Structure 1
Amino acid sequence: MTIENAIKNELPDNIGARVQSVRLNDGIATLVVDASGLARSDAAALEERIRQTLTTIEGVRDVRVAMMADKVKRRLVAVGSGKGGVGKSTLTANLAVALARAGHKVGVVDADIYGPSQPTLLDPANQKPQARDKQLIPVESEFGVKLLSTGQLIEPGKAIAWRGPMTGGALTQMMEADWGDTEIILIDLPPGTGDIQLTMIQKFKPDGAMVVSTPQDLSLIDAARALDLFRQAHVPVIGIVENMAGYMCPHCGEISDPFGSGGAEAAALQLGENFLGRIPLAMEIRVASDTGQPPAANNTPQGQAFAGIAHKLSDWLTSKGQPG
């Protein structure tokens, strides 16, 4: 047995299986280790374990470890709207939960710096993210979705009075956090077409964007502006979602349309974009959202509506960003 194999055999089986090569030269052991699938913190712990084990071997005076990993093919999806109050954050949270239920490793960045709502929607316990080497570590909700939001970092009810550069810095910290093996990050953008949107597009260039609108004409006018921003920045538009589409009376079962009907689908056709589906105006969605229990976590009619849109998003990403 060579000294190199002897060194490898000193490691536990679960670690030794990751060692791709070992070389000993002048008392220096150099190892190449496969760190695929490991979060940064786990890879660092693995490296330290190897060092501690091998420095006890006679003839080894130093240990050098090269951690190699396949880069995670992470996709960024921006969820935007031309105006506030159309349910963009609720859609983002529920799409994330639906994608996680379908087997994807999902994260959410709450880029609505001044009005963060994702902690309420996904993490009612309001866990505080930790940091390692000045890098944030996202918290994981009970629904299997990782999350970062300024709402986790400030006291409840406290205003965030930051100028543009500070909001851009906060966004960058969240985007460049230790997302580990997360495959899809949904970015809950603030309404409009301001600084945060421009920073996101210019610095991180999402793979695609979804636009949310209610059926009413005023929302559709603003949604068209959001679409135009993504088009100008050459961010592929995945499609349009119509939210608050139809209300069923819990007493008589009659369907009414307080915000109109079919407006977003008609706009998508007129603008040449995909129509991804409708989310109903339902009391169940409002109550569940307020209590941090996204409807997409269950197989209710409301949950299935979100799951259908999540499926279309997954198909779009699988096709490498080319609309079907």
Structure 2
Amino acid sequence: MITTEQVLDALRKVQDPELHKSIVELNMVRNILVQGWSVSLEIILTIQGCPLKAKIQQDVEEAIQGLGASEVHISFGSMTDEERAALTAALRKDSTTTNGMPAMLQEDSGVTFITITSGKGGVGKSTVSVNLAIALAGLGKRVGLIDADIYGFSVPAMMGITESPTMIDKMAIPVESHGVKVISMGFFAGNNAPVMWRGPMLNKWIRNFLAQTHWGELDYVLLDLPPGTGDVAIDVAAMIPQAKEIIVTTPQATASFVATRAGSMALHTKHEILGVVENMAYYEDPDGTKKYLLGKGGGDRLADTLQTQVIARIPFAQPEENMQTSVYDEDSILGEIYSSLAEEIDYRLMGSSER
């Protein structure tokens, strides 16, 4: 005979796949009825039309069948406005301090921030951000990626993300793709509409991405910044003074020269520069011959000027790679380069200790 207590204990191990909290803890389990080896219950979803309803149903059925149940009957409802408001308040309490600041900005939060920037557009900064985030997740790290390039958001398209974040009241649940939690202005600007904002509004959105998003526990947060030294870069520097910085350039002299300004700003704001990534460094023919289509030396010149080092030289993708998205297969040449870069960064920042 199965008991109600056994059902509850089994369901404590079932998590809401977006909030990553037990459905029992979230008070989503209601009206359990046990009749012999048949179990009926109601699952109250956070919102109507929950996109992961089928996943929750499967996990609940498997947990109860693990007790020996021969029949599991599940009905679904959704939280009331009051219940949803209470849940949002609890989530916000987890993610903010008493003065309303994002909790992850606290020095003891355990979160390491890495900003990825460049002097100009078109150097592959967002591609580096996406693939580095995925490579860090491939190491078993808990990674969030903020597409902070408010004007030129491209991360969702690059990662092949077609869904939008679930909104619980005004709290966003980031979309998870390739093991990375993602938030972007691209989710909120309908039909690829342009964003025409100035400083205060930009600052508000970056802060919302940190405080009004339920990130859960993270090891790294990567921010794909707009190129240059505009409002967003200045606000992020002030908001996250402990951030580490990666500067992306191409071998072109002009690109590296312009990137110097972004690097100088990092030094001025006391951000630690992790190094320079030289993207589109060369093209490798099938016979192994390297062709330097954009010239040579830009990354080295930038690194010398900023008194840092080139931490990766990333070649052009081969024609058969990168057909659908900007995510490179981990077994490809580019995927291996990003994996090596992630390992180096993680070792430098975390040492050999596990978090």
Q: TM-score range by the shorter chain?
A: 0.7 to 0.9
Letter in 2 for 1:81: S
Q: How does 1:278-293 map to 2 (within 5 A)?
A: 278-284=313-319, 288=322, 291-292=324-325
Preserved CA contact (<8 Å) 2:8 2:24: no
What is the alpha-carbon distance in structure 2 between the residues aligned to residue 89 and residue 264 of structure 1?
Answer: 17
Query: What is the RMSD computed on CA atoms of the aligned residues?
Result: 3.2
SS at match of 1:265: helix
Which of 234, 239, 246 aligns to 1:210? It is 246
**Cα distance, 1:45–1:88 mapped onto 2, change above 3 Å:** farther
**Cα distance, 1:319–1:116 mapped onto 2, change above 3 Å:** same
Q: Offset at 1:137?
A: 1.2
Please list every run of at least 4 consecutive aligned residues from structure 1 whose deviation after the TM superposition is greater than 3 angstroms: 9-17, 38-41, 47-53, 66-72
Say whether residues 1:172 and 2:204 are aligned partners. Answer: no
Greater relative contact order (CA < 8 Å, ≥ 6 in sequence): 1
Q: Which residue of 1 aligns with 2:97?
A: none
Q: Which moved more, 1:264-273 or 1:275-284?
A: 264-273
Say whether residues 1:119 and 2:151 are aligned partners. Answer: no
Say whether residues 1:307 and 2:343 are aligned partners. Answer: no
Which of 111, 134, 139 aligns to 1:102? It is 139
Q: Offset at 1:298?
A: 2.2
**Cα distance, 1:263–1:129 mapped onto 2, change above 3 Å:** same
Q: Which residue of 2 aligns with 1:271?
A: 306
Task: State TM-score, norm by structure 1.
Answer: 0.75
**Cα distance, 1:47–1:148 mapped onto 2, change above 3 Å:** closer
SS at match of 2:237: helix
Which of 193, 197, 216 aligns to 2:229? It is 193
Q: Which residue of 2 aligns with 1:162?
A: 197
Letter in 2 for 1:258: L
**Cα distance, 1:185–1:249 mapped onto 2, change above 3 Å:** same
Q: Which residue of 2 aligns with 1:48?
A: 27
Letter in 1 for 2:254: L
Preserved CA contact (<8 Å) 2:186 2:192: no
Q: Which residue of 1 aligns with 2:118?
A: 81
What is the alpha-carbon distance in structure 2 between the residues aligned to residue 193 and residue 44 of structure 1?
Answer: 44
What is the alpha-carbon distance in structure 2 between the residues aligned to residue 79 and residue 276 of structure 1?
Answer: 13
SS at match of 1:162: coil
**Cα distance, 1:74–1:168 mapped onto 2, change above 3 Å:** same
Which consecutive unaligned segments of at least 5 residues does structure 1 have? 1-8, 18-37, 54-65
What is the alpha-carbon distance in structure 1 between the residues aligned to residue 305 and residue 245 of structure 2?
Answer: 18
Note the alpha carbon deviations across 1:234-253, whole angstroms, 9 max, x for none.
11111111111011245x75
Letter in 1 for 2:252: Q
Q: Offset at 1:119?
A: 0.4
Task: State TM-score, norm by structure 2.
Answer: 0.68
Q: Offset at 1:263?
A: 2.6
What is the alpha-carbon distance in structure 2 between the residues aligned to residue 201 and residue 268 of structure 1?
Answer: 20
Count of aligned pairs: 275
Q: Identity over aligned residues, as a percent?
A: 32
Which consecutive unaligned segments of at least 5 residues does structure 2 have? 33-89, 95-102
Q: Which residue of 1 aligns with 2:60?
A: none
What is the alpha-carbon distance in structure 2 between the residues aligned to residue 248 and residue 16 of structure 1?
Answer: 53
